[in-house]
Structure 1
Amino acid sequence: MSIVRTALPLVLLTSVLTGCAGLQKTDWPTCAAVGGVVGAGLGATESSAWAGYGALLVGGTAAAYCWVHGDGDEDGDGVPDSRDKCPHTPKGVQVDANGCPPPVAPAPVVEEAVVVKEETIVIRDVHFQFDKATLTPSDKEVLDKVATRLKQESSTARLTVTGHTDSVGSDAYNKKLSDKRAHSVVEYLIHDGVPRSSFVSVTGAGESQPVADNKTADGRALNRRTEIKIDR
């Protein structure tokens, strides 16, 4: 019986201290309270007069042990130092279970729209009546689509229209014909709703600016064209 009475206090005290070591330093009041109850019980096994001394002794020992060996929380983020993978987190910063601030979402990348300052629309499907500047019904269908496209431009866009021919005929004649055809295209586009004020230049270049070989039918077809340059 004497062995049990000697060993029991040691077992209980060891259990209390071991449990306190697993707590945080700030839990010392809990350790003190539990140790006090255990100490009082141990003291009472001797006599009622020892209950208070036992409570004071064991409670104080448990509280001190908890403070020395308990798990701390140096940065005060609520995560014990033993599990805190991000020590020294600034006060008030929200942390996860590992004591680390949640990853900051990258700022959205705002891509600015690239505005093409210059663009040229090349019209090759407008053939006019033979040797004239008169538009055919199929020509008007093509230009209706071009007008729809141009009406989408801002009011500050400036349009330069140049007519071109192949090399059949004299240079002077072709220049005059290309000028008439360029004006015919512009007048139709204006009739279709493109502001007249958008057109800053309408000229004919004749055969002077070929883009293909005039010796072949395919090349001459490529050279017969109207170009609309858009300056934004």
Structure 2
Amino acid sequence: MSIVRTALPLVLLTSVLTGCAGLQKTDWPICAATGGVVGAGLGAIESSSWIGPGALVAGTVAAGWCWAHGDGDEDGDGVPDSRDKCPGTPKGVQVDADGCPPPAPAPVVEEPAVVKEETIVIRDVHFEFNKATLTPGDKEVLSTVATRLKQETSTAQLRVTGHTDSVGSDAYNQRLSEKRANSVVNYLVDQGVPRASFVSVSGAGESQPVADNKTADGRAQNRRTEIRINR
């Protein structure tokens, strides 16, 4: 009988502590209450005078054990608190084995599409009448074009073509378109555009109209210089 009375308290207290180990740390009041009840019962085995001290001692031990060894899943993410590296994860958030949300995917950065070929059409360069000499207004327009072209990479290739309307002979307009194309290129080079960027300078005369030569407006549209950019 003495062996039973000695072993029984240890067995019961061990059972209580084992049960508490499966609870969360915040459940220590439950452990304390359970331990207190068990402690009171164990104290009663000895004598009625041991009920109070037994409850106090066993409750304190059980509460401390629960706090030190308790485990659980306070944030409900399926990962025990003992190895949850991200406690407090919001409910419903998917987590990894460590209880942490997976890293956010890296933002997809779309590279801007590079336009391989572009044509700048200059129609506001009128030259002096029947000549290839640039007017002050022409130079102002071309200065803006030069600023634009200097932003291109050193590998960009520039092809310049001059065009005329149909007034005059084909041969005359061919020569005039060539002279005007060269005037444009020379001015752009003077403004800082590398001459090496110009891979061709030519004239198309009146052979490539973009509008009706029978009207003044159409002829004005046909008198133009085109700069094709190949990147």
TM-score, L = length of structure 2: 0.70
Deviation readout 1:10-59 (Å, 9 max, x if unpaired)? xxxxxxx9xx99x9277686456423443356567x644xx38x959xx6
The residue aligned with 2:78 is 87
Point out where structure 2 has 5 or more consecutive residues left out of the alignment.
1-15, 94-99
User: Structure 1 residues 203, 87: CA separation in 2 closer, same or farther (over 3 Å shift)?
Assistant: same
The 1-side partners of 2:202 and 2:217 are apart by 24
2:10 maps to which residue?
Answer: none
Superposition CA RMSD, Å: 3.7
Is 1:96 matched with 2:83?
no
Q: Give the Cα–Cα distance (whole angstroms) in 2 for the partners of residues 127 and 31 of structure 1.
A: 100
1:159-178 CA deviation, whole Å, 9 max, x = no partner? 00000000111111101100
Q: Which moved more, 1:103-112 or 1:188-197?
A: 103-112
**Does 2:179 match 1:180?**
yes
Contact 1:133–1:177, Cα closer than 8 Å, also in 2 = yes
Give the letter for the 1:96 counterpart: G
Q: Deviations over 1:109-158 (max 9, x none)?
A: 21212111111110000001111101111111111111111111111111
Q: CA separation of 1:55/1:89 partners in 2, compared to 1, >3 Å: closer, same or farther?
A: closer
Identity of aligned residues (%): 59
CA gap of 1:163–1:25, structure 2 versus 1, over 3 A, is closer
Which secondary structure does the structure 2 equivalent of 1:228 belong to?
strand
Which residue of 2 is the match for residue 167 of structure 1? 166
* Alpha-carbon separation, structure 2, partners of 1:167 and 1:214: 6
- What is the CA–CA distance in structure 2 between the aligned matches of 1:97 and 1:146, rounded to whole Å? 58
- Structure 1 portions without partners, runs of 5+: 1-16
Residue 200 of structure 1 corresponds to 199
Matches of 2:166 and 2:24 in 1, distance apart? 98
Aligned partners of 1:96 and 1:102 also within 8 Å: no
**Matched residue count:** 194
Shift of 1:94: 1.6
Shift of 1:104: 4.3
Map 1:1-232 to 2 at 5 A.
Answer: 24=23, 30=32, 33-39=35-41, 47-48=48-49, 51=50, 55=54, 73=72, 78-79=73-74, 84=76, 86-87=77-78, 91-96=83-88, 100=93, 101-102=100-101, 104-232=103-231
Q: Would the alpha carbon gap of residues 114 and 97 (structure 1) be closer, same or farther in structure 2, given more than 3 Å must change?
A: closer
* 1:68-103 CA-partner distances (Å, limit 9, x unpaired): xxx973xxxx42xxx72x325794442425565447
Letter in 2 for 1:176: R
Cα distance in structure 1, aligned partners of 2:117 and 2:87: 53
Cα distance in 2 for residues equivalent to 1:191 and 1:89: 75
Deviation at 1:106, TM superposition (A): 3.8
**Alpha-carbon displacement from aligned partner over 1:162-195 (angstroms, at most 9, x marks no partner):** 0000011111110110000000110011111111
Instruction: Report if aligned partners of 2:175, 2:205 keep a CA contact under 8 Å in 1.
Output: yes
3-state secondary structure, aligned to 1:218: helix
